[in-house]
């Protein structure tokens, strides 16, 4: 590609980023230092969600409508800003042990700015373990905010496939590939599971075998059970196990960057893999979401096709 053409692409990309940055400013890196053992943050995140639910139920005023409850949760731990409140809390809290990701040595480092775009300008959000799964902090925002949008679309049509089409469109457009070069399959999974969370507030067996979290009590609500992220988080929230689809600007350099982890894959292969039966079940569960299947970009697959290292 000619230098002038690259510069023009970079300028247009930067302009788009400046206009769209408040929407989504962080990519995350589940690759760097993946083998480092960190504490699971599920317990403290569950605590924050359940505290919010209990306080809302205790102080409820006005009609006990589902939409009002969903909006109240969103205002408390979601939010209109580019990082949701619970997401921001997790990013800052010492109670949430993050994967050590050097800000200048992530998978998006040392790559052309015209290719990495958002990650090059705004840096990397932290990753941490929830229910045994390594997730990026942005997945909390997708779960709460984009999940709410998914739920509202479903409320209009009661057709999850129809709601999923709009969710996939947003990942192709302003929330994803159009401004970042990254189409995140894991984002779409978190969006959908957020929708299922909102449904599980009011409906039995959305989480199989469990009653709704809330039940009407007089003119208000009561909690029947506690929320648990483990009911929603699974290996397809992890962008190393449910890989992104990268656009033509980013894919070549990203492939080379990821193949640099091949020695780590050889030492600890199982942390880069998903059990076949788990994979099959999740593929069926999320078939309607419009994912771009890039399991060929899992590290074991990329390393199998990596050029041999030179001798000497």
- What is the per-residue pLDDT across 286-296, written as a single tens digit (0 to 9) for each? 999 999 999 99
Query: Would you call 305 exposed, middle or buried from its count of C-beta atoms within 10 A (0-12, 13-18, 19+)?
Result: exposed
228 or 114: whose pLDDT is higher?
Answer: 228
285 — pLDDT class (breaks 50, 70, 90): very high
Q: In 3-state terms, what secondary structure has residue 182?
A: strand
pLDDT at 9: 46
Supply the pTM of this predicted model.
0.87
Our CA angle for 241, 243, 249, nearest 5°, is: 155
- Domain range annotation of the chain: 3-296
With H, G, I as helix, E, B as strand and everything else as coil, classify residue 204: coil
pLDDT given at position 290: 92
Q: What DSSP string runs through 271-300?
A: GG---HHHHHHHHHHTGGG-----GGGSHH
Where does 142-264 show beta strands of DSSP type E? Answer: 182-183, 214-217, 220-223, 245-246
Looking at residue 264, its pLDDT comes to 94
Q: In a 3-state reduction of DSSP, which class is residue 180?
A: helix
Q: How far is CA 284 from each of CA 252, 280, 289, rounded to the nearest angstrom?
A: 30, 6, 10
More confident residue, 114 or 195: 195
Question: E-strand spans in the chain?
Answer: 27-28, 124-125, 127-130, 133-136, 182-183, 214-217, 220-223, 245-246
10 Å Cβ neighbour count for 157?
10
| Half-sphere CA count of 3, side-chain side, radius 13 A | 0
The tens digit of pLDDT for each residue in 5-15 reads 444 444 444 44
In 220-264, the DSSP E strands lie at 220-223, 245-246
Between CA 208 and CA 24, with CA 234 as vertex, the angle to 5 degrees is: 120
Q: How confident is the model at residue 149 (pLDDT cuts 50, 70, 90)?
A: very high
pLDDT tens for each residue of 86-110:
999 999 999 999 999 876 778 887 7
Neighbours of 281 (CB within 10 A): 13
Residue 123: Cβ-neighbour burial (10 angstroms; 0-12, 13-18, 19+): middle
Residue 156, Cβ density class (10 Å: 0-12 exposed, 13-18 middle, ≥19 buried): exposed
Q: Residues of the chain with pLDDT > 90: what percent?
A: 69
């Amino acid at each position: 590609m000619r230098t002038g053409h690259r510069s023009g692409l970079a300028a247009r990309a930067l302009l788009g980023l400046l206009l769209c940055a408040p929407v989504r400013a962080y990519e995350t890196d589940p690759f760097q230092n993946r083998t480092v053992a960190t504490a699971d943050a599920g317990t403290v995140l569950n605590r924050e969600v359940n505290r919010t639910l209990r306080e809302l139920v205790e102080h409820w005023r006005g009609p006990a409508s589902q939409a009002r409850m969903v909006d109240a949760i969103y205002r408390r731990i979601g939010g209109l800003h580019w990082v949701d409140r619970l997401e921001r809390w997790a990013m800052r809290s010492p109670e949430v042990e993050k994967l050590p990701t050097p800000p200048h040595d992530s998978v998006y480092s040392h790559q052309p700015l015209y290719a990495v775009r958002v990650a090059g300008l705004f840096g990397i959000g932290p990753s941490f373990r929830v229910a045994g799964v390594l997730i990026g902090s942005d997945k909390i925002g997708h779960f709460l905010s984009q999940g709410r949008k998914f739920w509202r679309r479903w409320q209009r049509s009661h057709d999850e496939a129809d709601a999923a089409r709009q969710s996939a469109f947003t990942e192709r457009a302003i929330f994803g590939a159009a401004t970042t070069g990254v189409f995140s399959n894991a984002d779409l999974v978190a969006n959908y599971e957020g929708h299922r969370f909102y449904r599980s507030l009011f409906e039995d067996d959305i989480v199989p075998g469990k009653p709704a979290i809330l039940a009407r009590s007089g003119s208000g609500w009561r909690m029947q059970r506690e929320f648990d992220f483990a009911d929603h988080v699974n290996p397809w929230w992890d962008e190393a196990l449910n890989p992104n689809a990268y656009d033509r600007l980013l894919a070549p350099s990203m492939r080379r960057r990821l193949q640099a982890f091949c020695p780590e894959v050889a030492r600890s292969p199982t942390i880069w893999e998903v059990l076949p039966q788990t994979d099959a079940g999740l593929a069926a569960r999320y078939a309607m979401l419009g994912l771009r299947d890039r399991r060929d970009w899992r590290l074991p697959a990329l390393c199998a096709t990596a050029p041999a290292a030179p001798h000497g």
